Homo-oligomer: A and B are copies of this chain.
Amino acid sequence: MYNFVFQNPVKLIMGKGMIAELSKEIPSDKRVMITFGGGSVKNNGVYDQVKEALKDYDTVEFWGIEPNPSIETLRKAIVLGKEKKVDFLLAVGGGSVVDGTKLIAAGLLYDGDAWDLVLAHEPILKTVPLATVLTLPATGSEMNNGAVISCRKTKEKYPFSAGYPVFSILDPEVTFTLPPHQIACGIADTFVHVMEQYMTTTSQSRLMDRWSEGILQTLVEIAPKIRQNQLDYQLMADFMLSATMALNGFISLGVSQDWATHMIGHELTALHGLSHGHTLAIVFPGTLRILRDFKGDKILQYGERVWNITSGSRDERIDAIILRTEEFFRSLGLTTRLNQERIGLDTIDEIERRFNIRNAAYGENSNVTGKMARTILESCL
């Protein structure tokens, strides 16, 4: 186990009807900007619940934070927020709305162009307080200090480190009306978030391994049940809690992390607009295929504990485990190959080029360079 420092101050408020708690949590003298994505919250009752809870507050609404939130959109929100002298932000939406609002929180206290804050690749310390009402379990952004922002103009997408939400409200009932494709992407995203913190070397922490496996086992158990009945509160509550716990620091205490799959996936989104979770479902099996010699022991442990794959030679078991993992993503209703999305060698060329420009060396062993990314992606064709 490596030395570590951990602190996660987010207040998690979870359950049926908890959106009504908003007025207890936001100081009454705050001028609140509420940020939204598209209009889905107007159809599923979330908008009405939020407005009802905040009826005595001075609020401003900002609509239109898109999937893979763009700096182009967020600049507009920052202008509006400054104009209205906003001093509290409430993100109502999925990971994209939350991520975008994290940049707004920083941008409101920054005089220059907020894209500078992303390009600086340094933690942002000065932010307006923000809270969230989550509508799509996936990114974990509701309980961490990370975000990912895109630039449409340059087709770039980068992670950055911002403030933690003050609180996040998770009502599993808001997931009942989500499109099945979004749920599939959310499950894939959660699964691979765990993998980025788990699929490294063995024996760093038995406990962290068990907790990561616990999320994976939960996802494997609930995913087919959710496909059958998305209105089951207990299932959706476990999905929602799993997504949050997969990226709030609780499973990465003192262990190595990887994140190469994410870095490749971000490029696929930037270049082709594929949903984030979907890109991970395509890339992650490729990461396993190509890095199997480095990750072999952990692949075997994962296969035994999550898939009960214990027979055959070492190589046979690893083959079976990788196949089973790809099969799991397909069982969610996702494609797992680039050619199924009409993505070919030109995209792979471009991603290799981008990785080379920034001297990329991602992954637990810093060996996912441009060339390695090419090899991984070629295995995903």
| Cβ distance A246 to chain B, nearest Cβ, rounded Å | 10
Q: Is A222 an interface residue (CB 8 A)?
A: yes
- How far apart sit A253 and B13, CA to CA, in the bound complex (Å)? 10
Query: Out of B4, B12, B203, B237, which one reaches A14, CB within 8 Å?
Result: B4
Q: Are A234 and B1 in contact (CB under 8 A)?
A: yes
Range, interface on chain A: 35 or more
Most buried by B among A14, A214, A241: A214
Q: Is A8 an interface residue (CB 8 A)?
A: yes
Q: Which of A149-157, A204-212, A339-347 contacts B (4 or more CB under 8 A)?
A: A204-212
- How far apart sit A12 and B1, CA to CA, in the bound complex (Å)? 14
Interface 1/0 per residue, A1-41 and B, CB below 8 Å: 11111111111111111100000000000000000000000
Q: Is A144 an interface residue (CB 8 A)?
A: no
| Cβ distance A165 to chain B, nearest Cβ, rounded Å | 11
Most buried by B among A5, A16, A203, A217: A5
Q: Are B206 and A218 in contact (CB under 8 A)?
A: yes
Q: Are B238 and A206 in contact (CB under 8 A)?
A: yes
Q: Is A267 an interface residue (CB 8 A)?
A: no
Q: Is A242 an interface residue (CB 8 A)?
A: yes
Q: Are A10 and B13 in contact (CB under 8 A)?
A: no
Q: Is A110 an interface residue (CB 8 A)?
A: no
| Cβ distance A380 to chain B, nearest Cβ, rounded Å | 30
Q: Are B218 and A210 in contact (CB under 8 A)?
A: yes
Q: Is A213 an interface residue (CB 8 A)?
A: yes
Q: Are B6 and A12 in contact (CB under 8 A)?
A: yes
- How far apart sit A218 and B245, CA to CA, in the bound complex (Å)? 19
What are the residues of chain B within 8 A of A5 when measuring CB–CB? Answer: 11-14
- How far apart sit A208 and B218, CA to CA, in the bound complex (Å)? 10
What are the residues of chain B within 8 A of A98 when measuring CB–CB? Answer: none
- Give the 3 A-B CB pairs with smallest separation, nearest first: A3-B15, A210-B214, A7-B11
* Additional pairs, 11, CB under 8 Å, beyond known A1-B15, A210-B213: A1-B233, A1-B234, A2-B15, A4-B12, A4-B14, A4-B15, A5-B11, A12-B253, A14-B254, A210-B218, A211-B214
